[in-house]
Structure 1
């Protein structure tokens, strides 16, 4: 391998313009994250009065100081609760991420009980299911900090109730797979929420605060006429001394978090951190702010991105002269061998065949694959179709689908058409998928979609022998462009959990290093799967 010779002028006008545009998008992201934290923090006086910690304070206390933490799906639910961008609260009502607890890398999930008492939101449910999937696939201990009012009955939807059962199924799957599930019950867990501790391996409850019951006092009285207190039905002392639902009785939130840390420390599991001897990229990561244009039709040499992610900027390009618009490159990130796949233009027949070959070679070598998406899709046209674009593109998609090594996707710029599929988009289950703030995802560009529909409408009018209404077609085109642009925006797609989060481009190497370490730990970790999850006495 050799150090990549960059041709990028980081001080040029184009770079400065792109840097500014990216910084504006990053501020939008940070403002959304602050909005969720500030909405939760409004409940602080009430939490203080009850002697409780806010959800983010609990997470901070649980995590090892100074250790890496990778937030997940922080924009979940954005624009799904309301179309008003100024009022939408992102996050889905839960805080989630991969972090270190007592020297063990864990999946950490916390109810954001500062917002609507932690009631489960529709996209919050999807976020929980996603992080459970990540924990299961990567053998991460699952630490759950619970305080939730359960489902919001004022916004009840039967499909949410039915699909919500998967949350509890996944807890059983984690336990049966030999992956520890540790729950701290900080507050209420009612009805289905009571099964969160019920399906955990170890439960910590807080005296005077924890509640877990299938029917709280109001529902109990409505259903049976019986009158009972919350403590009698599901208090911490009752569950730790009588029902056996809880293993440990904590005096307050801090004590409960301390017990959770001790429980994780006693697992005897180890994790790996990045080597302190890793060689940083030869080219500055700050350049990543300036490489991607706002207008994704402008060309970008994605090797410039790779050179700012790889150790020492050392890259070995595979088949550089064949299918040259599709980049297949070998390199290292934090000492771990990886294969990079990216796009300097549409994926043509040769590029699809090269990518297929390269994916299979990475599987043979056991090297994870990092997809850096900036694709307008597969090549179209008479020559491409006659050259077998469909069958060769299908081979690439088959290779992505069947790859036996971890695949991680970063959506850097455009992710259009079937290129989203061939470059391991969300539908192809990459281990992790993160987006840059200027990324866009769509079946095609808005202008292209509008022009396509205009041609169809004009052809339909011609068949009827009537002139096309130009004003009507102009209005239709404007509506289509607006619809496509709105839905292609990264904050909209991230709100739908079509990625695992939007990240600062400068953090990409650190995020990839953490994800690769998670994958390596999962492969090396020995678990003891069982036929059933751990059952409570």
Structure 2
């Protein structure tokens, strides 16, 4: 067999492996986009209402992209199906300005808030705050899902945080605009009541702290929803709403008019001439090994991601298991921190220094994860690998340049922390369909736990055969594989999106453009243990 034929066969095998990885993601996406069941959609339309995704489509400037956040949220998490956690959130252009759009999906359990609905909306608000975006709320919700109230109502990052965020962002001069296009009940009534300006649709929009049933239970008075809190009440009597709309289309036009009062703010032009990558991005998936234990060829990925494939590498000959350097994506400068093997002390020190340089020069950071963790062993512990790793975690934690994180392979344990995992404040975090994340790999976890089990049995004077070991380890591996999958992670909002490799460059270009328009922040590092 010739070398060329061997490479072709290997490439075909890799492609098949990637298709297997992405199949579950594609299924979850179709479920999310479909929204609620067909009968719920039919009832929604019978009331003359657009669906949540249709509302967003009409709201956005024609021909502009929509960067959806949390599309797979709540997938297979609850006993009930709650596609996209019952709320569509994402970033789009409205009247020439970037805005965070949050649209309740009333076809999903009447738009009621599950715990992940709350988490998703707060995540969207945090992105809006950090990037200086206006927030637009397309409200159509029955309020909190009462059977799970203890996971929705009382805590610091539960329902009340949504309203606090509205107040704080308004105080920062970030527009808060609501359109009430359906129910807006109980605590949810504070969304339109607290926004800077509010539109309400006649005949379908209602706002009340207590619905007709609660009013009857509390006071004995029987009243219908329109009389209690309809559009005429709130535009003519209560002044909770500012603008009366005749239907969804009219409401969207009014929202766009409110946004248009401030001058358009187009995304800043890239400071460098955009150039195509060295190789087409369409070839990215072919670089992903079928076996997730094999390392992804990082430099080949960069040739398909960076403008002209160019990386001005930092300390290329030192700490070679991590690649650091500056390049550009779509003409926007970016500092790359990319794994190329397990992290050693030298790797951590090199990356720490590079993060410092990017902060000093105000260059955004992109972390590309393919990491099993830090090197372990007596020699490395004695060399202070925990101290050197802590320097990198410190630098990543306190860096105030825009940070973006993308899992292209594994992202395990402390390696995830050092590479700007979710806890370390990336402005956006994505994951490829082949990527995996957990405290450690399933194989390692199964081995560690079986060794612990063997020691326990040995202490009790009992045996632990090879068959016992296999029986014990199999469910551990299965559980770790399920919980480390991108759909599992995205369903719980551990990442903002699952991104196909060929779409990565476009996704990052929009992210970097958005960051270029956001307010600058000064970095102050903590104490580095020397």
Provide the C-alpha distance between the structure 1 equivalents of 2:244 and 2:7, rounded to a whole number of angstroms.
59
For these two proteins, the number of residue pairs brought into alignment is 513
TM-score for the superposition, normalised by structure 1: 0.92
Change in 2 beyond 3 A, CA 1:353/1:383: same
Provide Cα deviations, 1:450-499, integer angstroms capped at 9, x if missing partner: 11122222223333443225444332211211111111111101111000
Unmatched 5+ residue regions in structure 2?
522-530
Provide the C-alpha distance between the structure 2 equivalents of 1:518 and 1:213, rounded to a whole number of angstroms.
36
SS in 2 for 1:305: helix
Question: Which residue does 1:266 correspond to in 2?
Answer: 261
What are the equivalent positions in structure 2 for 1:178-327 lying under 5 Å apart?
178-272=173-267, 278-327=274-323
Which of the numbers 133, 140, 144 marks the counterpart of 2:137? Answer: 144
Give the conservation status (yes or no) of the 8 Å contact 1:10–1:287. no
SS in 2 for 1:79: coil
Which of the numbers 74, 97, 119 marks the counterpart of 2:90? Answer: 97
SS in 2 for 1:213: coil
Per-residue deviation at 1:118? 0.8
Give the conservation status (yes or no) of the 8 Å contact 2:296–2:409. no
Give the conservation status (yes or no) of the 8 Å contact 2:438–2:484. yes
What are the equivalent positions in structure 2 for 1:9-158 lying under 5 Å apart?
12-40=8-36, 42=38, 43-82=40-79, 88-153=81-146, 155-158=147-150
Provide the C-alpha distance between the structure 2 equivalents of 1:469 and 1:91, rounded to a whole number of angstroms.
46
SS in 2 for 1:418: helix
Give the conservation status (yes or no) of the 8 Å contact 2:420–2:426. yes
Which of the numbers 414, 427, 441 marks the counterpart of 1:418? Answer: 414
Higher relative contact order (CA 8 A, sep 6+): 1
Give the conservation status (yes or no) of the 8 Å contact 1:18–1:292. yes
Provide the C-alpha distance between the structure 2 equivalents of 1:311 and 1:247, rounded to a whole number of angstroms.
47
Question: Which residue does 1:5 correspond to in 2?
Answer: none
1:391 aligns with 2:383: no
Give the conservation status (yes or no) of the 8 Å contact 2:307–2:331. yes
Change in 2 beyond 3 A, CA 1:489/1:165: same
SS in 2 for 1:156: helix
Change in 2 beyond 3 A, CA 1:447/1:416: same
Provide the C-alpha distance between the structure 2 equivalents of 1:323 and 1:277, rounded to a whole number of angstroms.
31
Change in 2 beyond 3 A, CA 1:391/1:283: same
1:442 aligns with 2:438: yes
Question: Which residue does 1:531 correspond to in 2?
Answer: none
Provide Cα deviations, 1:58-78, integer angstroms capped at 9, x if missing partner: 110001111121111111111
Provide Cα deviations, 1:248-298, integer angstroms capped at 9, x if missing partner: 101100000011111111122403166595211121101111112232221
Change in 2 beyond 3 A, CA 1:273/1:503: farther
Which of the numbers 319, 342, 345 marks the counterpart of 1:346? Answer: 342
TM-score for the superposition, normalised by structure 2: 0.93
SS in 2 for 1:321: coil
SS in 2 for 1:146: strand
Question: Which residue does 2:447 correspond to in 1?
Answer: 451
Question: Which residue does 2:326 correspond to in 1?
Answer: 330
SS in 1 for 2:423: helix
Provide the C-alpha distance between the structure 2 equivalents of 1:73 and 1:369, rounded to a whole number of angstroms.
22
Which of the numbers 424, 431, 438 marks the counterpart of 1:428? Answer: 424
Provide the C-alpha distance between the structure 2 equivalents of 1:251 and 1:10, rounded to a whole number of angstroms.
65
Give the conservation status (yes or no) of the 8 Å contact 1:23–1:289. no
Provide the C-alpha distance between the structure 2 equivalents of 1:30 and 1:23, rounded to a whole number of angstroms.
10
Per-residue deviation at 1:88? 4.5
Give the conservation status (yes or no) of the 8 Å contact 1:338–1:367. yes
Provide the C-alpha distance between the structure 1 equivalents of 2:37 and 2:481, rounded to a whole number of angstroms.
33
Give the conservation status (yes or no) of the 8 Å contact 1:205–1:249. yes
Provide the C-alpha distance between the structure 2 equivalents of 1:9 and 1:274, rounded to a whole number of angstroms.
44
Change in 2 beyond 3 A, CA 1:484/1:524: closer
Question: Which residue does 1:535 correspond to in 2?
Answer: none
Unmatched 5+ residue regions in structure 1?
1-7, 526-537
Spell out structure 1 runs of 4+ moving beyond 4 A.
Answer: 8-11, 273-277
Provide the C-alpha distance between the structure 2 equivalents of 1:445 and 1:458, rounded to a whole number of angstroms.
20
Provide the C-alpha distance between the structure 2 equivalents of 1:133 and 1:394, rounded to a whole number of angstroms.
27
Provide the C-alpha distance between the structure 2 equivalents of 1:493 and 1:97, rounded to a whole number of angstroms.
18
Give the conservation status (yes or no) of the 8 Å contact 2:35–2:84. no
Give the conservation status (yes or no) of the 8 Å contact 2:401–2:520. no
Deviates more, 1:219-228 or 1:271-280: 271-280
SS in 1 for 2:497: coil
